[in-house]
Amino acid sequence: MLLLVYWFSPITLVATYWLGYNDLVPVALLTLTLYSIRHQKNWTAGLALAAAISAKLSMAAALPFFLIYFQHNRPHRKFLPDFAKAFAVGAVLFLLPFV
């Protein structure tokens, strides 16, 4: 409920659409990626990161940090293939129309 109140608040709508501060959406998607990784929802995390990068290319700077995180944490290393597959699928779905 709180999330709906945030996204439909007049301040968020004005800042996002009228003033053109469109960083809210990619940052929200990047936050969803972090939340999904924390709760081991790797497909959701990969798709959310691909969506964040397609929304704003500067979010691609976060990709190496996620890869390093998966590589250096032994318990999470086994989730890297699923994350990478989901990211690849999301990248094709979200970025292919722009090619």
Predicted TM-score (pTM) of this structure: 0.77
Q: Residue 21 — pLDDT band, cuts 50, 70, 90? A: low
pLDDT value of position 92: 94
pLDDT value of position 90: 94
Whether residue 36 is predicted with pLDDT greater than 80 in this model: the reply is yes
Q: In Å, how far are 14, 16, 79 from 37, measured between CA atoms?
A: 30, 26, 9
* Token pair belonging to 36: 């999904």
As a whole number of Å, the CA-based R_g of the chain is: 15
